[in-house]
Chains A and B, each alone.
Chain A
Amino acid sequence: MKLNIDGLLVYFPYDYIYPEQYSYMLELKRTLDAKGHGVLEMPSGTGKTISLLSLIVAYQRAFPLEVTKLIYCSRTVPEIEKVVEELRKLMEFYAKETEEVNNFLALALSSRKNLCIHPEVSSLRFGKEVDGKCHSLTASYVRAQRHGNPNQPVCRFYEEFDAVGRQVPLPAGVYNLDDLKDLGRRKGWCPYYLARYSILHANIVVYSYHYLLDPKIADLVSKELAKKSVVVFDEAHNIDNVCIDSMSVNITRRTLDRCQNNVDTLQNTIQRIKETDAAKLREEYRRLVEGLKEANVARETDVYLANPVLPDEILKEAVPGSIRTAEHFVGFLRRFLEYLKSRLRVQHVVQESAPQFLKDIFDKVCIDRKPLRFCAERLQSLLRTLEITDISDFSAVTLISNFATLVSTYSQGFTIIIEPFEDRTPTIANPVLHFSCMDPSIAIKPVFQRFQSVIITSGTLSPVDIYPRILDFRPVTMASFTMTLARTCLCPLIVGRGNDQVALSSKFETREDFAVIRNYGNLLLEMSAVVPDGIVAFFTSYVYMENIVASWYEQGILENIQRNKLIFIETQDAAETSMALEKYQEACENGRGAILLSVARGKVSEGIDFVHHFGRAVIMFGVPYVYTQSRILKARLEYLRDQFQIRENDFLTFDAMRHAAQCVGRAIRGKTDYGLMIFADKRYARADKRGKLPRWIQEHINDGSLNLTVDEAVQLSKHFLRQMAQPFSQVDQLGLSLLTLEQLESPEMLKKIAQIAHQT
């Protein structure tokens, strides 16, 4: 259908529309008009992606000079592929309606592991191996060597792409990962480099967060993307953690040992080159004198180790003299390494700030701040000069030099914690140096600065106002949308008591309490008898789950559950869990029914949807607080308090509730779907917890279901499921939660829609 969104003609590739989609597009349009940033929360399964795409594509077509590019960031590979497929649908609709040739180019970009078509390289299992092998075949000096030595192996796909691939831009169309690979095979071009090259002139790019947020990668891939782009972060409820992760470094003794080996190798290589080809080193020296900018003019394939900090701050200067020659630099690295080793030989926990660390290193081994800042860049140059092909071996020394650069660049927002042993095993020495980022805004700041509109959206972003605070930006729109429903297809229940009136809670004091564990087991058992097909249960952590499972086993609860459904359990091994998941789905599919025991914050809770019968009920055992004893977390909480005036408890609760909401939201993926959401902890009843759930869940919790016993919950569930089992057709929704174009344009509906968006 064709919509009129605030004067903009939007093609929407469906015959009907949800009211909230219309409302969402209105808000989005406002954000784009204002050239500002936005935070939008809309329930999962209400067609967020297609609304986003429809509006932004329409905007791009209407104002090609205002918005030149859409950069759509999602979290997982399947998500990325889903987005591209939705886009394809939209483009097909455009082609059909306008009957003109579309000159839109849209493509997905992923890591080499997902795009490589080289028969040997692509058969490697891990992304790192693929990257390393690819580099060893495509680095510029490897290819240069081939001129002298035709036997030198290179990647024929890259060669072909390099020879002809750049001359003609990729024809317009929608390219998913598989389409790129197909094209690559047909033409004999490397799909990865083709995609990386094509994102510069593509209208829509879909890739993962890291390409924008991780400065090590962002610098390579996304540096030249136009400023007039709209950036969308979908599933952005965890965006702060992604930011923090990309800037944090951990150094163990093993890292240092491997780094030592790396430095030795470097030394030997330098020695050898000095004897055979001293000119090369002299040349490098000359380049470094001229400044890094020159040194950085290298081929795209070489820029493998990028700088962990943002380039502009550094590249204007020349490399300091003390590390300019290769030998001096290696000596410098050695000193730094020895210093780190000495720091790891501690008996007690040390926590210090970056300036303290710099002062200490200056006092002890006379290393200045400036050469440290250039460490990453200098290492990169050296590795290139030495023509080291297998760079993945040098990950340890790269890590150290990145750390050096980071610690000397940022004086704020980071903390250094050295722990001599793990808390759980105080007798085993296992020193770790955590250099952890506490301020997510550091990594995302350049994104906000550079692009004119950044949209942060997800199904669960409540409370919406906290994100601008922790990411330090000023949005022009913040809105939370509800799900309009013709029937109440979600049923949140808070189970606070067992049948014996024991208060249910996962809080620390009652964690080992037998009565609580038994009641939890009882809840699952009763539910397994009532709920059809699949049930997903989430625990607060692996350890907690393992303990509960063990005691359920001893009490015979699991055996009784097995009478009703099969049991699958998430483990820390991803491959094993994948198998369990597939079997779980199979069991739901064939009618036997199954239970999946899983962990909040685990991979399942973050990436897997349980649509329809794969998840008719989600049970959240306990409140998934993060492990609060961690020093890193404590440091971060302190930082949040001091810098952003966010109270520790507020943040912890916010964090726990967003994960809980993620978990329970996994079961509802649309308006035709239905599911129970059982919060099994009495603490959920409190207003401060409940109030942090997304609005679309919150508004269905009625006061009567705040502190249920297991039996009461079972009764309510039975009632709910019986209602849901009635036939539900499109006609039932029409006019309420599903609109035709005429209905949408009626004035009273427009008035209603205005209420859907909940401005904050």
Chain B
Amino acid sequence: MASLSEEVLLVVKKVRQKKQDGTLYLMAERIAWGPEGKDRFTVSHSYSDIRCQKISPDGKAKVQLQLVLHTGESTTFHFANESTSRKDWEAAKELLQQLLPKFKKKANKELEEKNKMLQEDPVLFQLYKDLVVSQVISAEEFWANRLGGINNGESAACENKQEVGISGAFLADIRPQTDGCNGLRYNLTADIIESIFRTYPAVKQKYKENVPHNLTEKEFWTRFFQSHYFHRDRISTGTQDIFSECARQDEKGLKSLVTQGVKNPMVDLLSLEDKTLDEGYGISSALPSTSHASRTVKESSNFAIIKRFNHHSAMVLAAGSRKRDVPADQASETSSTDGNSRDSDFFQPPLKKVKLQEAIEYEDLQQENRPKTVALNLKKSDRYAHGPVPLQSQQYTTSQDIINSVNYIKHEMSNYKPNLTQVLSSAAASSAIAALSPGGVLMQQVAQQAINQMVPTEIQAELKHLYVAAGELLRHFWTCFPVNTAFLEEKLTGHLECMLQAAYSKFHIWQTRRMMRKT
């Protein structure tokens, strides 16, 4: 039982698995369970294999914890100790919650993806077995080519996959519930945490800095929800808060957004007025500007709420579109700085022109001026279909020819008159039929069986595998051309040659084996 020198983080006794009592061990890198009285683990999962944990809801009689693996299998543990089951379960769950995300990164997406690909594509799987498992080429090389292929071939499909945005109300979804004794309970899910991080990068930063060395995850979130940052409408009580910096950063971010100005000149309220009245003129019957000092507490808290909503919405919006258009954004940003900054506008801000045109357009007053499509009028459609063809090979029959000949044949057929004086005698005819029947004189040379019926299937399969493997290798080989990097050259001269050699010898072995079998 103690044969492993791993660090054991938690031991929970009386945990049932498949109706067997046993002990659950949470170690540094894996979770394991051994039945009572045996000194070996019957269940052992590395954390990196675990996709998630599922827990039984509060208040259920059976206290259970289920681990779902990447492979889709799952293992269920039942905490059976009457008195402490709830506590044990709680401890195990907490620990797992902390451990799993760490390993999650290791078991990265790519692996999952490869796995999926292999599962979905048996040919690929076979190829993988032939080439990688038999160590003809390394796994990286195999995948380097493959994944590249995915990205190129299916890039359209991949990118079209929409980025899931963030719900605007994710903070509303974590409405606290009172737990009955003057406390609040917030239910956080991984999704919400993800949303918080994506919307407020400052919090993510804090999280990275403080968890787990300074604070546990739980403490972190507790403080988050207690902080003035979260309850921005309340007036701050202490400045010792780790989130006060976040608030400041957000403020700064907002300010920079504001100073950046807007790209669309039609919504720029600053430059809306042509000539503002000078200070001191005009009727200031509107509100006298309330400076911050003279604001009441209530007003400034209202003000903070408004600011916060604007910021929140802007961040949610940005989080939704951030990843997608980074390059596009950069491009437009540069062009907009050219357009909007006042001393560099040596060329027209194009956006402004477009927006102006849009604004004065009356679509229904105009004749519909969609670019008119010209109907494709082909005089010789066959030429369009076949493309230019070298002169000498002009022996194809045009569709017109075919139509003509069909017509001709039809015509012939309709005008067919049997010439009964020149038919074969029945004896000659029957002998001819006999000769043309299977087994007849004329049919002996023709192989009766197709090759696929002659060769046993397993040999066919083997041959196919060898063929595919050789094809894959050749593909590797040809992708090395043109040889323009040292790496490619090395690949070519070094191991690819060996690989081809190996493949060849493999084929050779197979052949001789086959010969042997035959003889």
Chain A interface (Cβ < 8 Å from any Cβ of B): 14-18, 47, 49-50, 76-78, 80-82, 85-86, 89, 110-111, 113-114, 119, 122-123, 127-128, 178, 181-182, 185, 207-208, 210-211, 214, 217, 241, 244-246, 248-252, 255, 395-396, 399, 422, 425, 428, 434, 436-437, 541-543, 546-547, 549-550, 553, 556, 558-560, 562-569, 571-583, 585-587, 590, 592, 594, 601, 603-604, 607-609, 626-627, 630, 632-633, 670-672, 730, 733, 738
Contacts and interface: CB of A to CB of B under 8 A. Distances in A.
B285 interface: yes
A85 B280 contact: no
A429 B24 CA distance: 75
Nearest to A582: B262
Interface in B235-277: 254, 257-277
B184 to A, nearest CB: 15
Interface in B390-428: none
Interface in B87-109: none
A587 B317 contact: yes
Interface string B147-171: 0000000000000000001011101
Given A250-B282, A562-B172, A578-B261, A586 B317 contact: yes
Interface residues of B, number: 77
A208 B274 CA distance: 7
B272 A563 contact: no
A424 B261 CA distance: 34
A206 to B, nearest CB: 11
Contacts of A248: 281-283
A738 B365 contact: yes
Given A559-B171, A577-B269, A581-B267, 15 more contacts: A14-B366, A16-B367, A82-B356, A89-B360, A250-B282, A567-B313, A568-B310, A568-B314, A574-B270, A576-B258, A608-B269, A627-B285, A630-B285, A632-B283, A738-B365
A123 B341 CA distance: 8
A154 to B, nearest CB: 18
B359 interface: yes
A428 B357 contact: no
B73 interface: no
Given A571-B307, A672-B363, A603 B269 contact: yes
Contacts of A594: 313
Contacts of A81: 356
Contact of A574 (B269, B277, B307, B349): B269
Given A556-B172, A566-B316, A594-B313, A76 B282 contact: no
A553 B363 contact: no
Given A16-B366, A562-B172, A608 B284 contact: no
B165 A592 contact: yes
Contacts of A574: 269-270
B179 interface: no
B191 to A, nearest CB: 15
Given A422-B288, A543-B287, A568-B313, A250 B277 contact: no
A85 B283 contact: no
A262 to B, nearest CB: 13
Nearest to B301: A550
Nearest to B348: A178
6 contacts: A16-B365, A395-B279, A556-B172, A564-B168, A568-B314, A579-B314
B352 A607 contact: no
A251 B169 contact: no
Interface of B: 165, 167-169, 171-172, 175, 233, 254, 257-289, 294, 298-299, 301-303, 305-307, 309-310, 313-314, 316-317, 320-321, 342-343, 345-346, 348-349, 352, 356-357, 359-360, 362-368
Given A245-B281, A566-B316, A217 B275 contact: yes
A541 B287 CA distance: 9
B289 to A, nearest CB: 8
Contacts of A626: 285
A587 B228 CA distance: 28
Contacts of A244: 283
Contact of B168 (A86, A543, A566, A576): A566
Contact of A246 (B259, B280, B281): B281
Nearest to B363: A672
A80 B265 CA distance: 13
B366 to A, nearest CB: 6
A608 B278 CA distance: 23
Contacts of A428: 294
Contact of A127 (B275, B294, B314): B275
A17 B260 CA distance: 42
A638 to B, nearest CB: 15
Given A563-B169, A586-B317, A546 B302 contact: yes
A181 B273 CA distance: 19
Contacts of A547: 302
A123 B320 CA distance: 34
A607 B313 contact: no
A723 to B, nearest CB: 18
B317 A76 contact: no
A656 to B, nearest CB: 14
Contacts of B260: 579
Contacts of B276: 127
Nearest to A626: B285
B280 A255 contact: yes
Contacts of A576: 254, 258, 307, 310
A18 B365 contact: yes
Contacts of B345: 181
